[in-house]
Chain A
Amino acid sequence: MAERKPRRGTWRLPALVTLGIFLIVGPPFVSPYWIGLLTQMVILAILAMSLDLLLGYTGLPSLGHAGFFGVAAYGVGILSTTYHASFWVSVAGGLLTGIVLAALLGLIVSHVRDVYFLMITLALGMVLWGLSYRWIPMTGGDNGISGIPRLESHAGLPVTGPIPFYYVALLVLAACSVLMMRLVASPFGLTLRGIRENERRMKSLGFNTWVHCYLSYVVSGAFASVSGVMWAYYNGFVSPTYLDLTASSELFLMVTLGGPATLAGPVFGAGAIVLLKNVMSAYTARWLLVLGIVYIATIMWAPQGLWNLGGRRSG
């Protein structure tokens, strides 16, 4: 099994190239509504890839990952509305909030593994959700914060509208992808995979696995924050639903459905879920039921993710 080079997996490169070309040249030819959906896919793809670093490459299943995404979004929302901060201050503030939070929570979770990690990040995610919900003077509680300026005008871009925003998001996705791809191919990334496969051995080889897991957690949180910042600008408001358990588990589904430890897979996973939710809910009010079945079906029939169909390829 291990030595048999699968020849069936040759669809991946063409798929990736087609997707890339479409993402770059397609949008001007589709309706504004579809540009909106594509923008959502692009932003959530960054988020899904960030979780993949942790879940796929390091083997740490974080079920509170939407927390960083949401907290960064709140950073942007609060700075840009309550404090009327400029674009770069808001962006930097949002990113910093997410990263500092990851650095703090990382201290609590980095020595835990497996299912304990799952449960603890789940609980921490709930704490963050509670914070956004109950710290009303800061977060506006249930109503959230609305009135975040449009990205194009806030950043002083000469153009406005859904298409420029889309290309900004695509550019950010491209930059994040390159960074993450280099990261997982670096010695650091290889060590993370080593920890995932056999932590004890890595320890005995002299690696400080705690530090590696910690860094992986923080870096992953940082990329999630990038996505959160974009999301805040995209929607123009933030609300506690950004970081609830449903959001975190949907994110988990994107990575699992797409294929963990592939980076490309979660991008497709994010696209598939956004597409599924929006197309399906137009036809049936029972789409939550269908989504539940999608979860179950994914685990039953594509547990390694769509990207790994026809031969395992993840690293």
Chain B
Amino acid sequence: MKRSHTILVAVAVTIAVTLVTAQTTPDNPIKIGFMVPLSGGSAQNGRDILNGFLLYLDEIGYRAGGRKIQLIVEDDEAIPAVGLTKARKLVERDEVHVMAGVLLSSTGYALAPYIESMKIPMVYPVVSADDLTQRRRGTWIVRTGWSGSQPNHAFGEYAYHRLGVRSVVTIALDYAFGWESVGGFERTFRAEGGRITQKIWVPVSVHDFAPYLAQIPRDVDAVYALLLGRSALQFMKQFQEFGLKGRVKLIGGGTTTDEHVLPFMGDEAIGAVTALHYSAALKTRANEAFVQAYRARFKKAPSYYSESMYTGGKWLIAAINAINGRVEDRAALLEAIRGARPSDLPRGPVELDAYGSPIENVYIRRVERVNGELQNTVIDTFPKVSQFWKYPPAEYLRDPLYAR
């Protein structure tokens, strides 16, 4: 008995000593584990997220809280199981202090139990699945991006009152992101008295919209489209092809005209009105500086993905500075991340709510051609929008998650 006690004490002392020496060694870099898809179909979005982060880390010379920053990048291949393996590698082998990244909700959900069990702070700059900070929220994951329904709550009201839209057909990708976006829009739009006459769900693997476009009646006020990447590109073109443009107003979720795909569109996109928490055409000093730096380095306009991890990086570094670089104290780091209020963010002021999700501006943007380039001109702003919109959180959370 006594002996085992001695061993226990010895082990405890060893661990303590190791921890203390680790903490006080100044040359020991802060390790940030980062992962996004860098191969396969979502590679470009992942690359955008990474680029935003690289841009910010360069700005601060890879130093924070008096220590060097070491960034370890992994490719999660947009496959949840690979993401989990990579997370294990970053945490258990590279022994990172904090994690950031992830693009897809599927990977985001897959990682959550592991992150919680390892008690490692992690920042999700993009994953927009509502429940991640609502009904299935954890402690260690902090979202600095947005939730899918968030801008759409605002947009539902805007469409009814400011765009004068009364009847809408929605066409959206058939997965959680689509349901939550349409669900958010539908909730506030209908509360104001608007009518959704039809909801068309298209598989994520859609390439030809013809069978769906043929179903849209010409007498609705607007079509609400929630697409992204190449599906948005294909949709815009085909929307015009089938003679809908000009007859029916086109509105939608922000990704449909986001800068990750907008430069590849033509005049067919002009006039589309969408809502998102960012636009590269936002006229603020912070954003113009960011866009200029980003364009100079990567030769293209930043997308909301790029902005996400520029801001996410800024957020993380602000937290690390707040605790003077003592990232070994994970609980303190988590506290600092939750309490951080970095200023001069490209997208405008952001703070976190009690559920670990941002309260931020939602911008209503219209696609215009300015100086020969398509852009999302901001035509209106809803300040300080929470993931719960105007509803009391407790009440909101009693309702089920938006589904088809």
Contacts and interface: CB of A to CB of B under 8 A. Distances in A.
Interface residues of B, number: 30
Given A36-B85, A236-B114, A241 B92 contact: no
A136 interface: yes
A237 interface: yes
Contacts of A237: 80, 84, 109-110, 113
A143 B113 contact: no
Interface string B65-87: 00000000011000111001110
Interface string A22-60: 000000000111101100100000000000000000000
Interface string A208-244: 0000000000000000000000000001110101100
Interface string A120-161: 000000000000011010000111101100000000000000
Nearest to B86: A281
A38 to B, nearest CB: 12
Contacts of A241: 79-81
A141 B176 contact: yes
A86 interface: no
A282 B74 contact: yes
B92 A33 contact: yes
Contacts of A235: 80-81, 84, 110
The 4 lowest CB-CB distance pairs between A and B, nearest first, are A33-B92, A33-B93, A142-B175, A241-B79
B88 A33 contact: yes
Interface of A: 31-34, 36-37, 40, 133-134, 136, 141-144, 146-147, 235-237, 239, 241-242, 278, 281-282, 285, 287-288
B106 A147 contact: no
Contacts of B176: 141-143
B88 A239 contact: no
Query: What DSSP secondary structure best describes chain A's contact surface?
Result: helix
B112 A278 contact: no
Nearest to B80: A239
Contacts of B86: 281
Interface of B: 38-40, 74-75, 79-81, 84-86, 88-89, 92-93, 104-106, 109-110, 112-114, 129, 174-176, 203-204, 404
A270 B394 CA distance: 49
18 contacts: A31-B92, A32-B92, A33-B89, A36-B85, A133-B203, A136-B404, A142-B104, A143-B106, A143-B175, A144-B110, A146-B110, A146-B113, A235-B84, A235-B110, A236-B84, A237-B113, A281-B86, A285-B75
A83 B403 CA distance: 20
A242 B110 CA distance: 13
B246 to A, nearest CB: 34
B149 to A, nearest CB: 15
Interface centre among A142, A236, A239, A288 (most CB of B within 10 A): A142
A36 B110 contact: no
Contacts of B104: 142
Most chain-A Cβ atoms within 10 A of its Cβ — which of B74, B88, B204?
Answer: B88
B63 to A, nearest CB: 25
B174 A141 contact: yes
B109 A144 contact: yes
B85 to A, nearest CB: 7
A278 B85 contact: yes
A285 B38 contact: yes
A136 B404 CA distance: 10
B106 A40 contact: no
A187 B110 CA distance: 45
B74 A281 contact: yes
A282 B176 CA distance: 31
Contacts of B112: 146
Contact of B81 (A31, A141, A242, A282): A242
A141 B40 CA distance: 19
B147 to A, nearest CB: 14
Contacts of A236: 84, 110, 113-114
